[in-house]
Amino acid sequence: MMHAPTIMSTAATNAQAATTIGWLLWLLLIILALALIFGVWAMRQARTLTTPDFVTAQVDRDRREVNAWAEAGRRARPDQFDEGDGADEEPPSDDDEGPGDLGRKSPRNPPPDAPGSPPRGQA
């Protein structure tokens, strides 16, 4: 008489385990299906984002946005921006030492070997 409850509980445990495994298999199947759907979607997105038409459109959008910000800045402070026509600029003089004179030595800074320059090692 003692063996009957043990056999019944083993059968119940096996049935419960089979049900649990069944649910886990269904869950795994759902996860795999979602992964497949997401993978296909991601691949299509990647292909769309790298097409030349999309890249060109993105560059055009970025350029329009930058131009809009620049125009807003020009309208906010028009005295700070030059239109590039050169009408309000003075011609550069020879005695200016600015970015255009980087390759030229001025008389105030003679090359080290020029006459009148201090000997090397003395400043």
Instruction: State the Cα angle at 25 between 20 and 29, rounded to 5°.
Output: 150
18 pLDDT tier (thresholds 50, 70, 90): confident
Q: How many domains does the chain have?
A: 1
Q: What is the pLDDT of residue 27?
A: 96
Residue 109 has pLDDT above 70, yes or no: no
Lowest mean pLDDT across 19-28, 34-43, 72-81? 72-81
Q: Is 97 within a domain?
A: no
Contacts of 63 (CB under 8 A, 6+ apart): none
Structural domain boundaries, residue 45: 3-75
Please compute the mean of the pLDDT values over residues 34-62 and round it to a whole number: 84
Q: Is 119 within a domain?
A: no
Please compute the mean of the pLDDT values over residues 40-46 and round it to a whole number: 88
Q: Is 50 within a domain?
A: yes
Cβ-count burial 77-97 (b if 16+ within 10 Å, e if not) = eeeeeeeeeeeeeeeeeeeee
Q: Is 28 within a domain?
A: yes
Residue 45 has pLDDT above 60, yes or no: yes
Residue 36 has pLDDT above 90, yes or no: yes
Helix runs in 1-123, H state only = 3-49, 52-76
Q: Is 104 within a domain?
A: no
- pLDDT for 74-100, tens place per residue? 777 766 655 555 555 565 555 555 555
Q: Is 52 within a domain?
A: yes
Q: Is 55 within a domain?
A: yes
* Count of CB atoms situated within 10 Å of the CB of 109: 10
Residue 37 has pLDDT above 90, yes or no: yes
Q: Is 80 within a domain?
A: no
Has this prediction a pTM greater than 0.85?
no
